[in-house]
Structure formats: structure tokens, C-alpha cells
A and B are shown apart, each in its own frame.
Chain A
Amino acid sequence: MFKIGFKKHYKVLNFTTEIGKHTVGGVGTYMDQLYKYHSEDTGFVHIYDGNDTKTISTDDYPATKDILAVTSSEIDQVMYLSYDIAVIHFYALSCLVSEDYIRGRKLVYVVHLVPTPEPYYINEPFGIHDDIKFSFQSVCNRADIIVCVSNAEKEKLSTIYPYLSHKIIVIYNGIDYEEEITRVESEINKSRKIFGFIGRLDYRKGLLECIKNIKNLDCELRIACGNEDPQYLNILTNYIEGASLKDRVVFYGWCSGERKKSFLKSLDALIIPSLYEPFGYVVLEAMKEKIPVIVSSNGGMAEIVGDYKYCFNPYLANDLKRCIAEFQNDSIEVIEEQRGRLFERSKLFTSQKMVENYNNVFINI
């Protein structure tokens, strides 16, 4: 157990597996934003895999206060923490909802993702994954309030578990927005051929479908990802080789910090081809940096971009191809107008607003 400016008592304790450098995807971005604007009476318990060979240090975290790092084998220690409200961010932490741990306290569950395959069968939404189903259900059942990150996610959860509807609320994720920063707008190129993808290597992110859709277009696809699923990577590389796309589909590895910004700036547009996305932080990050996006309309991203031209249905054959071609053929003025609209809209999704909404939940629970 590793205490980093951790106090004896908190009103709210967030239990998470992602924070700071321990990030896999959007949950990590969310947690860092939540941390940045957290109040004095809010703490963060980071539960990580103690078998990981990497040693943990204060440098791994966004700052040096209100953090407790606990290995999964030390999780019993959580029983002795003093706090009023537990906030759980991942169903795999379901052991924390047993009364040994929670001891009658209020529980808020932030559903960053209803863990189903995509698409899913309504009669068997979790497929063969009974362990995931039971963990997820037990946290949902015990929670006093369930927070979903978009209306799409709320609808999905309510469809699968109608009896939970009464306690589900929506709080959109947020991102830093600093008014005083003058953003250098990258010029919209006359010929738009460089597209990008950022995300986990997970079939639900729709990368294979994206590569198939660009095959017959005059463009390049740049991919920033990890290798979370080597089998899926093998499917991608086989397709790329078979379709002679090696020169037009380029992997850049995991891009974070300045490299991520540089990656985004190198693109004519970022494509988010997800089969379904509960929220889609990367869309918000691109919007804030004034990078045009081409987004799947299935899930929370449609709520982020609002009335926006370059949306497509990931389940409609060739709809992404149509959307990319439209983006390539539209006039610069049309794209500038769409990009400006997105930038203005990004101001609706600030971290400050997100934290304020959570604080209201904690006051009224």
C-alpha cells in the first residue's frame, strides 16, 4: 500500500484501476480530469495488479495528494479506510460492494461501459461471460445511484436491466477547456488524404471495418494504438497485407502526451469508427484541438458532436466510405464551418462542469 498525501477521512472515495500513467483508455483520461478538479474531501484509491513487474512511484500519478495505491492482493486493507460515499468505476472491483467493505455506506457506480460484446443479443447481452455479468450486476444492484456517461449508455443499461432505470442518471464526461489559450488552427488542406485512428486494439473500436472502407479511397490511415489483442492485430495485419495496403496503413504505437497532440495535428481528420462507443473522449480531445472528425453515430459520440455532417452508421455497409469521400470532396468552407461548430460545442463538455455535476450527486445522495 502506497499513500500519496492520503488523509485519514474522505467524504468521497473513488475506486479505480486507471489513473495517471496507469491508463488504458478513456477511463484514465476521465480520472485525470476528475482528479484535477477534485475537492479537498475527495480521495482516489488506485487498485492495480501487484504482479506487474513495474514498480509504482509518485511520478505515475497526476499530483502528490489524496491518492492511495493498493495492489489487488492488498485489497483487504480497503476495509479499514474511513469515508462516507464510495464511487466505483469498474465492475471488476465488485468485491468492494460486499458489506464487509461497504458497511452500509452510499455507493455510486459510474458505468463507463456496459461490458457487452458489440453488437449484443438482447436475450444474452453478456454472451458467454457469466463472470462479467455477475460482477457488473452485483455493483449495479448495490449502487444507490448509477451514473452513465451518455444517454445512449443509459438507454442500453435500461434496456438490459429495466428495473435499474429509476436510479440511473447521466453525467457527461468533460475535458479541460482553457479560454485564454490561443489555438493555432491547422489549415484545411485542399486535398485531404491523411486520416487517423486512436484507440485500444479491440474489435469494438471498428478498426478492421475502417481499413476495409479506406481500401478503395485515395488516402492514408495512421493508427495510434497499443497491442491489447494480438489475435486481432494478426487479423488486421493479414488484411492489410492481403489488400496491399502496407504503404497506406501505418502503425505508430501508443501515442500519449505531446505525441498524441502531434499525431492529431498531422491528420486531415480523425476517424472514430467504433461499432458502439459509450462516450468517446478522443472525439472531445480532437474537437478541442480543432481537428475535424469522422464519427460513428452509434452511441454517445452522436450526443457529443450534435448536429454534425460527418457522421456514419457503422453497421451500414460502405457508409464510412461514403462519409470519408464526402469529407474529401466538400469545399474547405464547409469543413471549416463544421470544425468551428464542433469547437464551440466542445465548450459544453468541460471538466469543471462534470465535477460540479458529481458534487451535486454527492450532496443529494
Chain B
Amino acid sequence: MYKIYSTNELQYGDKILVFECNIESVVKSKQKGVIILDFSRRTEEPDLKKLPARFEIYCTLQEKYLIEKFNVVLGEL
């Protein structure tokens, strides 16, 4: 289970997932989606508990399948 850590961070187990978007509002809007590791961000954050994350919305199960197939899934909303 996750908990909101800040407007752009979610705590997921012992990891803090850092988003570029306002994840707090995403959570509050109850949007469904998959949280993936954001490989495109070249973060210099020294705290290894923090992982760059991205929220991917899907409309169909096929889309969800493809997101999960080619990414590292960190969680789901």
C-alpha cells in the first residue's frame, strides 16, 4: 500500500516514488493507472530510497499489458 508523502511523492513500502506530476491530485481524482520506473529521468538524487517514477494511464487492458511488458512496474493506483 502507498501513502502520500508530498504533492509529487508517494511512499510505497520502504521506497519513495518521486513523480514529475502532482501525484497527490492524481490519487485524489481516483484515476486508474500503473506506476512505472522512469528510466528517462537522469536524476542525481543521492537518496537511493527515492526512485524516479511515472504514472501511466491506460484505457484498455491491452494498453496495460504493453505498459507492464516494457517497463519496471513499481505499483498501481
Query: Which A residues fall within an 8 A CB radius of B?
Result: 21, 225-227, 230-231, 233-234, 237, 251-259, 261-263, 266
| Range class of the B interface residue count | 10 to 19
Q: Give the CA-CA distance A227 to B38 in the complex, in Å.
A: 9
Contacts of A226 in B (CB 8 A): 39-40
Do residues B70 and A254 form an inter-chain contact, with CB atoms below 8 A? no
Q: Are A261 and B39 in contact (CB-based, < 8 A)?
A: no
A252-B38 contact, Cβ under 8 Å, with A227-B71, A259-B43 = no
Q: Which residues of A contact B71 (CB under 8 A)?
A: 227, 230, 233
Residues of A contacting B48 in the complex (Cβ-Cβ under 8 angstroms): 252, 259, 262-263, 266
Determine the distance from Cα of A231 to Cα of B47 in the docked complex, in whole angstroms.
29
Whether B42 pairs with A256 at a CB distance below 8 angstroms is: yes
Q: Which residues of B contact A254 (CB under 8 A)?
A: 39-43
| Other contacts beyond A252-B51, A256-B43, A258-B44: 6, CB < 8 A | A251-B72, A254-B40, A254-B41, A255-B43, A262-B47, A262-B48
A residues less than 8 Å from B40 (CB atoms): 226-227, 254
User: Closest 10 interchain pairs by CB?
Assistant: A257-B44, A227-B39, A230-B70, A262-B46, A258-B46, A251-B72, A253-B52, A254-B42, A259-B44, A226-B39
Binding site for A on B (CB under 8 A): 37-48, 51-52, 69-72
Instruction: Give the residues in chain B near A255, CB-CB below 8 Å.
Output: 43
Contact A253 B70 (CB under 8 A): no
Residues of B near A257 (CB, < 8 A) are: 44
Instruction: Give chain A residues whose Cβ lies under 8 Å from the Cβ of B38.
Output: 253
Q: How far is the CA of A233 from the CA of B66 in the complex (A)?
A: 13
Tell me if A259 and B46 are in contact (CB < 8 A). yes
A226 to B47, CA, bound (A): 18
User: Smallest distance from the beta carbon of B50 to chain A beta carbons, Å?
Assistant: 9
**Can you sample 22 A-B contacts with CB below 8 Å?**
A21-B42, A226-B39, A227-B40, A227-B70, A227-B71, A234-B69, A237-B72, A251-B72, A253-B38, A253-B39, A253-B43, A253-B52, A254-B41, A256-B42, A256-B43, A258-B44, A258-B46, A259-B43, A259-B44, A259-B46, A262-B46, A262-B48
**Distance to closest chain B CB from A304 (angstroms):** 25
Which residues on the B side are within 8 Å of A225 (C-beta)? 39
Is the beta-carbon distance between B46 and A233 smaller than 8 angstroms? no
